[in-house]
Structures are given as structure tokens and as C-alpha cells.
Chain A
Amino acid sequence: MSAPAPTRRIGDCRPDELLERLSHGRLWLDYGATSVRLKSDSRALCQHLSKVYAQFPLVEEAPWADHHVSITCVGGWRRLFRPQADFSCDFQHPFAPFAADTALPLFEWGSNWLIGQRLAHLLLLHAGVLERDGLALVLPAIPGSGKSTLTAALSLRGWRLLSDEFGAFCPDRMRFVAMLKPVALKNQSINVIRSFAPEAPLGPAFPKTRKGTVAHLAADRDAVDRRLDWVRPGDVVIPRWVADASLKLEPLAPHVLFGALAFNAFNYQDSGSRGFDAVSHLTTVCSGWQLTYSRLDDAISALDRLWHGVRDQHEAPSGLRRESV
């Protein structure tokens, strides 16, 4: 039950053709839970998108996008001395311009900002989410936890990525859906993933951004093709990377689990009682765990083992598919 195979992918598109489409605002990116139409005159951005969104379908003409974004090179004397790129969405310019060679991070962070504000019909957890055996593994983002590194690593070891940043949960269906933005790796994470999987499709590293050095991991074909699948909740694991620590997987108290989901979400309060009911449901159907680790391979093995039990517990069929329009 896969999505119909798209005819072409962004990574297959010739650079000049992609730039032509991008400069006329004919690039559509469907992340699953939301979609963006992008326009830009930045040649560098075009190249980077080609790498980091390589498996995304190259759509001729989409009838709809939730967000319409423009990344424009700022004109005037700045072009010569300090070229900048500006993010706008329908006449709104929410941020100060970035250096022109960091147009990709600007696009990623800017579109994240729009997403966080506009999708209150979904509960957007601040968590990485991956699917295995039709069930969602939720990794709440606690600072310093190494969540993105672990999410990236899992996605390279047979777990289907739904999202690194936004755990998009539908309170009506009580299911997760992908928000398939590229995993943003920062600083040492980049090298960790390069060593972990030298073949991993990483985009360029952008030093000196506001969050240090950032690089993006492209989603694989399977994750892209199944981004519209709805996925039942499985279990919640709070990762905790501690140098030289031995591996430990400990159960979380229900109130800690509740807090890790509710008080860490982007828009929990926006949906009022809906958000409360959604988190209550997740707290009821999921077990919570804290995973302490120092080696990625150990963490992944522990999660693989955990998932045998999770699968049996949920007696999981494969996830439901959202109707295509």
C-alpha cells in the first residue's frame, strides 16, 4: 500500500531547470503534515535544496500549499560587500536577513517558525518521531539529550523518519503523521553521524550560524514515499547522552511522561482541552522510558529490543493511510 511512484525527484532535476522552477516559485515541498511553496533567486539555496530534499517528488504544479515562502537575495550595495538573504511569507518579514550563504538554514528555521504558529489543529510535540512496525517511537527533545543525533542514527538503521523536530499528532485520529523536514545536526553531531554512517546523505555544513555549525540530513526515499501514512503511538523514550555512561533503560513515572509531552510541545496550550486529551491519551497508551547511553550503537540496539515488546503490547497492524486528495 505505497503512494503511487512519483515521476521525478528533486535530486534528479538538472540544476538549471531546478533554478528556473525555484526562481518562478514553482517548487512545492510536501512534508506530510504541511506543505510549502518556495520561491528564491539564490543559486546556492537551489544547489543545497537539491541535496537535502533529493528524494522529494518534483511536482509540476501543485494546487495547494499551506505556506508560501520567498527567500530573496537582498539588493543594493549589500550584494557586493555583505550579501544577505531575506525570508518572507506573504509580505511578512519575521526575521532579520541572514548571510546569503546560509539561505538553507534560514529557510529551515523560518519555515519551522511558520509551522509552529499555524497548525493548532495538530498537537506539535517537540520531539523526534520514527516509525517501526506501524508504531511511533517518540523522542522528546530535552536540551543536551542528543535527540537529533539519535533520531538521525535511527533513521539510518531501518527506522522510518517522521520528524526530527515536530512530533505531529492528530487529536482527532489519535495518530502521528510525518513532518518530514531534514534532520538538522549541530556541531559535534555532524561528525558523529559522518563516522556512524559515512554514506549518509548530508548537506553542506554551515558554520557560524546562530546555533553553531549546522548540517542537514536528507530523508530517504521510503520516508518520503510514506510521509502521508498515519501511525499509531508506540512508546516514548527520553534520550540522555552522557559521556562514558553505561547503557540504562529505565521506566518513566507517568507524570514525568505527561510533562515531557505537554510542557515541551510547541503548541500544547493553543488547542486547549484537545491538547490535554491528546497528551492524556498518549500517556495512557504509551509507556515512557529514559534511555541513558554514551554509544549510539548501544542505544539503537536497546531500542530495537524494546520495540519487540512494544509491538507485542500494541499488537500492531500497519499504520493507516490518510486519504489522498
Chain B
Amino acid sequence: MRWPWLQALHQPEIISSWSLAQWEEAVRQTRRLRLLARLAESIADAGLLGALPEQAARLLQAERLTSAYRQRVVHWAATCIARTLGDLGAPLVLLKGSAYQAQRLPISAGRLPSDLDILVPRPALAKALADLKGEGWEEPELDQHDRRYYHEWSHEVPPMRHGSHPIELDLHHNILPPLGPVAIDMQTLLADCVPSNWAGWSVLSPCDQVLHSAAHLFFDSEPLERVRDLVDLDGLLRHHACVNEGFWPDLLLRAEQLRLIEPLLLACHFCSSWLDTPVPSSMHSRIRSAGLAHGLVRLLFSALLAPADLDRPRPIAQRVAAKLILWRYHLRRMPLRLLVPHLWHKWRAGHGGDVR
């Protein structure tokens, strides 16, 4: 198995045969891919914490504590925000990790959130912003171009911060940018939202959750080594298929409806081949018959998502694939007349300060 530490997320019992060197690699790789706490939780669930070498046990314990802290902070912020937006008169929707937390999904264990993603319907956005600012949430200082970008071309407002909450608040009005490859009618998704375990908050329906996660990964500008997103997708597919009769046909139908077939097929391909996610043969047939263009994109993502080996330079194929995907992202997101000034602005901003 190419990545035993990835396999261990689902089959933690394999750790009992690991040498110290294998442990060291597993800790380094999972940490940098933000999966160390997830690995620790899998091992804890399987009752295997006692089987760890001391050097690994310390670091896994540390990461579990950090994960628990971050999740506590997110939950608390969501509690306060539900109070703040209590009279918004519109649904409050949790997105991504916070949703998984609020639903207590298996993949909520071992997360390391640094922000809270929420969504309100577009008509309620102005009031939501005003209410949040009234309670101490602040928007960053933005120049004119960035302000215009957020207001006209983005699906979210600039990330907000609060003195008492050590996380960023990302307030969305859509799950995807309006000028992206696919425009989403949020009303359709809002109609199917379901309640969560956190008072005042709903979450997307199971199918929409999967499609959002897939689109978030496969439409992004920098999907480099985002294996963690695949692990999330694997978890979502396994869980929802298990508890929802007719999940797979509904998922396919919804993907057609929202024109998100491409990211769904990519998600199913990588989850089944790298994480052994049970995917019905009908999906495999769709993947196989998806055409040459899709096949090329799949090849690029294969190079891009595969975690690089440690202590060596990144494979050239990965660096090339990253550039190609970035170009594809920009070209599909904005018409050239908007793209060129936007990239120019970003380049100037990037070369004004410290290079990261």
C-alpha cells in the first residue's frame, strides 16, 4: 500500500506492525496534510492508544488536544452567532467542517478547523452583516479592488474576526462563486436543508453536502495534496450511503441537476481507488465513459493530489500539474476582461510585502 498512514485511517489495526521509522513518516505526513488528529482519533476509537511507541503517543495526544480545542472554539462561536442572528428571519446554514461537527458525523473526529463557514440566503446577507458587526465581528481593511471583488464576484464576504473568538468567520451566500464554471441556484439547496444538533443551525442535505465538498476540492485553484478533502468525501459517502436509502441514485440525479457531474466523478474515482470507498458499479461505468477531456483532468489531479515523498523535492509532474490546474481555474472562473486586471492586482499585492 502506497500510503500506509492513509490506510490506517480506516484500518487502524495495521499500526501494530509499524516500526519507529514508519511511525515517524506517518506522523510527518499526516501532520502536514492535517490528518494527524484524525489518525489519532481512529486509533483511539479502536482502543489501540496503548500500542503506540512513546514518541508517537505524545505527539498524537498533543494533536488530539489541539483538535478538541479548535472544535470547541468553533462550536462556541456558532452558539454565539446563532444568538446574534436569532431574529434574522432566514435559515442559518453551517457548511463544511462545522456542519460535520454539528451533525456528529464520523468525520467530525480529529478536525483542525481554523474558521467557521456559514451561509445565509442572499436577501438576508445585509442584515446578517449588520447584526454581526453590532456584536463585535469586524471585516478586514480592504482596498477598492478587493472590496469590489467580494461584493460582485464572490460567494462570500471578506473573512470576519472577533476579539473573543480566535477563529475567522466566513459568511457565504452561495456555496460556489457566481462567476465560476457552474452557477448554483441557492434556493434549490436551501429548500432541502436539514436541521443539525446545534440549536438554530441547519446543514445541507446529504447529496448537497457531498457535491459541495467535491466542487470545493475539484474547482479550487490550489488542490495540491488535499488528501484530507478526499478523506472527508470518503467519510461523507460512506456515512450517507449507510443511513439513506436510495442515496446513490439521488446523488447522481442531484449532480445532473446542479451540473456538478465532473467533480462528483472525480471524487468517486479518487475515493474508491485511494481509500477503498464503496462506490456502485453504475458510478464506475460513468467514470469510464466520461471522455478524453475528463480523463486528462483526472490525470492532472492524480499528480496533484498524491502526497509527495518527504525529504525529496516535489515531483516535476506535480509542479506542472499545479500550474495547469491553476490556469484552468482562472479561465473558468472569470471572463478575460475581469481576469486580467484581477491577476495584475494580485501580483502587485503579492510583490509588495514579504513573499510567503
Chains A and B touch (C-beta atoms under 8 A apart): yes
Report A's interface with B, CB cutoff 8 A.
Answer: 25, 63-66, 68, 90-93, 96-97, 118-122, 269-272, 274, 325
Residues of chain B within 8 A (CB-CB) of A64 are 20, 23-24, 55
Q: Scoring B residues 46 to 79 as 1 if CB is less than 8 Å from chain A, else 0, what string do you get? A: 0000000111001101110110110010000000
Contact assessment for A90 and B31 in the assembled complex, using a CB-CB cutoff below 8 Å: yes
Contact assessment for A274 and B69 in the assembled complex, using a CB-CB cutoff below 8 Å: no
Contact assessment for B314 and A91 in the assembled complex, using a CB-CB cutoff below 8 Å: yes
Contact assessment for B310 and A68 in the assembled complex, using a CB-CB cutoff below 8 Å: yes
Q: Of the candidates B55, B68, B354, which one forms a contact with A325 in the assembled complex, judged by CB atoms under 8 Å apart?
A: B55
Tell whether A92 pairs with B32 under 8 Å between CB atoms, given A118-B62, A119-B62, A121-B61: yes
Contact assessment for A63 and B21 in the assembled complex, using a CB-CB cutoff below 8 Å: yes
Tell whether A120 pairs with B65 under 8 Å between CB atoms, given A63-B20, A96-B354, A325-B55: yes
Give B225's nearest chain A residue, CB to CB: A91
- 8 further A-B contacts with Cβ under 8 Å, apart from A66-B59, A274-B65, are A63-B24, A64-B23, A64-B24, A92-B32, A93-B356, A269-B69, A270-B66, A272-B69
Contact assessment for B68 and A65 in the assembled complex, using a CB-CB cutoff below 8 Å: no
Once the chains are docked, how many angstroms separate the CA of A325 from the CA of B57?
13
Once the chains are docked, how many angstroms separate the CA of A74 from the CA of B251?
49
Contact assessment for A121 and B314 in the assembled complex, using a CB-CB cutoff below 8 Å: no
Once the chains are docked, how many angstroms separate the CA of A119 from the CA of B63?
8
Once the chains are docked, how many angstroms separate the CA of A288 from the CA of B356?
42
Q: Give the number of chain B interface residues (Cβ < 8 Å).
A: 29
Contact assessment for B65 and A272 in the assembled complex, using a CB-CB cutoff below 8 Å: yes
Interface of B is mostly: helix
Residues of chain B within 8 A (CB-CB) of A121 are 58-59, 61-62, 65
Residues of chain A within 8 A (CB-CB) of B23 are 64
Interface residue B308 (Cβ < 8 Å from any Cβ of A): yes
16 contacts between A and B (CB under 8 A): A25-B311, A63-B21, A68-B311, A90-B31, A91-B32, A120-B62, A120-B65, A120-B66, A270-B65, A270-B69, A271-B65, A271-B69, A272-B69, A272-B72, A274-B65, A325-B55
Once the chains are docked, how many angstroms separate the CA of A271 from the CA of B70?
10
Once the chains are docked, how many angstroms separate the CA of A224 from the CA of B55?
20
Interchain nearest-CB distance for B137 vs A (Å): 20
Contact assessment for B354 and A66 in the assembled complex, using a CB-CB cutoff below 8 Å: no
Q: Of the candidates B32, B54, B62, B66, which one forms a contact with A90 in the assembled complex, judged by CB atoms under 8 Å apart?
A: B32
Contact assessment for A90 and B68 in the assembled complex, using a CB-CB cutoff below 8 Å: no
Give B54's nearest chain A residue, CB to CB: A325
Residues of chain B within 8 A (CB-CB) of A90 are 28-29, 31-32, 310
Q: Which of B54, B62, B314 has the most CB of A within 10 A?
A: B62
Interchain nearest-CB distance for B297 vs A (Å): 24
Residues of chain A within 8 A (CB-CB) of B308 are 91
Nearest 4 interchain pairs by C-beta: A96-B354, A121-B62, A120-B65, A120-B62
